[in-house]
Structure 1
């Protein structure tokens, strides 16, 4: 599961396959949900907006998208679709071509989400922050869609929602210490290929590989990170040494977690 993202205040310069990328922020859609104007950097939760990289006419740009995909065909107003599609923040690679919400976007609308890192909960109460030891951006593979409300009550607050989901795979060896799923992480030529239009299903499936890297590092952070309203950088502060790369055993459950700080409490 990848349900909390942490980004950079300003996305660092990116280079893929030896090619430096010139990235510009695209204008906000005039009818986009007003929530997209609220910048969130730390502890980005489902329904928050995050910065996402998309390709248009061979140019990569930054767009802000809701974390949790709302398919274009969804019926109802914003409140209704928010209830229906509250768990679409991750798209499992094994079923992504079969489920109605994802099978169109995976073929036509793919993106990359640059993150400083993300949070995982091995026991649903104890958060670990996962990042690269060199603090380079981690590029998570995603899919996106645009939904438009036809309900007049949504017009004032913005009738359109541009949204995305993070694609997940089985975990690599290190990530298996924390969860049985991992975000699909792409680098170099694979990241560029993911963004290209015209990719077929077989070519995309070839990219669905667990990520292995000695540069990944995870450390335990305070259970205050469990609070969705906590958007402070303190949510990422280490309170224990990093988990070693060596070994295959899952991390041990921390005794007596604070019941007042359960995951997703608001």
Structure 2
């Protein structure tokens, strides 16, 4: 957790909702994917998966205008690769294992500690997916059946996952080559709140709007601030429902992935709000 989420918006939508001062999603950036991303990076994506490039909000000096005098930190929207690649990594593939950072150990891990105090970001999302392991139903192969759920804010507001980001340089290329740099991020997770813990034991850490400014402030480098922010976990903001199995394949995309699964398809599924087992208990 978190391994899939829905980013169902265009950059223009985020510019207004997240008070973006500089939209840099049109910048040429290096992708780690072998094949072209589908949907294209920056387009609405209902099945955002690791290694894809996703819209991320961060605050950094604007170096696009050279010679403009003192550089001011501005809130930017960029496309970053999901799966953080530490700047000391020898192999870019390490990012595949770095899609999440646990809030409880964020400041203790070498891959995340420096980014946690100096390079924090927000990851916009409509909601996230998680797979519930059935306590009663099994597949034909005898393994526990897994039911995908979609989780979003009950007030239907945009979600902002707490995240950290990093820059990695390919030293085989010239520094001024746009392909020499990979910008990547991880989503911070925490223990799932009551109800959601019936789906999965972890959930992304969602920051409310009143925290965004301080979280993004690159001058705020106090580890105690990070600890305090990630210790404040307000419950009761989310609702969840089971969705169809199509989301389990990264090749599938579209708004239909958010549609509630028909009751006839629910087998040994636990209702997160009541704990009641829905549908037949066995295949």
Whether these two folds match at TM > 0.5 is: yes
Larger radius of gyration between Structure 1 and Structure 2:
2
2:225 aligned with 1:199: no
The correspondence for 1:87, drawn from 89, 93, 97, is 97
- 4+ residue runs over 6 A deviation: 250-254
Q: 1:64 to 1:190 in 2, by over 3 A?
A: same
The correspondence for 1:24, drawn from 22, 25, 28, is 22
Residue 246 of structure 1 deviates from its aligned partner by 4.6
Root-mean-square deviation over aligned CA pairs = 3.2
Give the whole-Å Cα distance in 1 for the aligned partners of 2:89 and 2:186: 15
Q: 1:156 to 1:104 in 2, by over 3 A?
A: closer
Residue 27 of structure 1 deviates from its aligned partner by 5.6
Query: Which whole-Å deviations, capped at 9, do the CAs of 1:173-224 have from their partners, x for residues lacking one?
Result: 2322211111111113322221112231111101113643544110111111
Asked whether the equivalents of residues 33 and 157 of structure 1 are also in contact (C-alpha less than 8 Å), the reply is no
Number of residue equivalences: 245
Structure 2 counterpart SS, 1:173: coil
2:7 alignment partner in structure 1 = 7
2:113 alignment partner in structure 1 = 103
Is there any run of 5+ residues in structure 1 with no aligned partner, and where? 16-20, 258-266
2:192 alignment partner in structure 1 = 171
Q: Which moved more, 1:225-234 or 1:22-31?
A: 22-31
Asked whether the equivalents of residues 65 and 164 of structure 1 are also in contact (C-alpha less than 8 Å), the reply is yes
Is there any run of 5+ residues in structure 2 with no aligned partner, and where? 61-71, 134-144, 264-269
Give the whole-Å Cα distance in 2 for the aligned partners of 1:31 and 1:196: 24
2:54 aligned with 1:44: no
The correspondence for 1:142, drawn from 163, 181, 186, is 163
Structure 1 counterpart SS, 2:160: strand
Give the whole-Å Cα distance in 1 for the aligned partners of 2:110 and 2:193: 28
Structure 1 counterpart SS, 2:225: helix
Structure 2 counterpart SS, 1:212: coil
1:75 alignment partner in structure 2 = 90
Residue 26 of structure 1 deviates from its aligned partner by 1.5
TM-score (norm 1): 0.80
